[in-house]
Structure formats: structure tokens, C-alpha cells
Amino acid sequence: GIRINQVNDGKHFDAVLDCIGPGNAKFTTKLLGLDGRWVFYGTLSGLKGEVNFAEMIGKRIKLISTTLKSRTK
């Protein structure tokens, strides 16, 4: 598998834009640093998965979900 030091010289990311979703959750939480933002806008890997909430709380990761469609009034 990919290791964080192969992706960004071992530095954590401030934000991740994620269209893959649950299948990528473990890797995404590893990539994000303290106070990181995880913007979740797709479920290409499916609708269900596991998230390590202890890691998210410890790093104070903010999970932001959205869709890429226009809003209707």
C-alpha cells in the first residue's frame, strides 16, 4: 500500500477533497494532520465503510459533506 511519506514527503495535509468515500477512509485519516478538513463529496467506493473516530477526534479532523449538484429553492 501507499505510505504517507511516499505521498507528501511525510508531511500531513491540511485538507483532502474525497470523491472515493468509505473505501478510502483509513488512508484519508492518516493523510490529514491536526485540525485537518475532510471534504467528502462522493461514494465511488460504495456507501458503507469504517472510520476510526478516535483518530479523527485526536487530530480534531472536521468532516464536511456536500454534493456537486445545484440547490433548488
pLDDT recorded at residue 4: 65
pLDDT recorded at residue 5: 67
* pTM recorded for the entire structure: 0.81
Residue 19: which of 49, 44, 50, 47 has the closest Cα? 44
pLDDT recorded at residue 13: 93
Q: Locate cell 460504495: which residue?
A: 46
pLDDT recorded at residue 1: 59
Find out whether 19 and 42 touch, Cβ atoms under 8 Å. Answer: yes
Which pLDDT tens digits describe the chain residue by residue (73 residues)?
A: 566 667 777 789 999 999 998 888 988 998 999 999 999 999 999 988 888 999 999 999 999 999 887 777 6
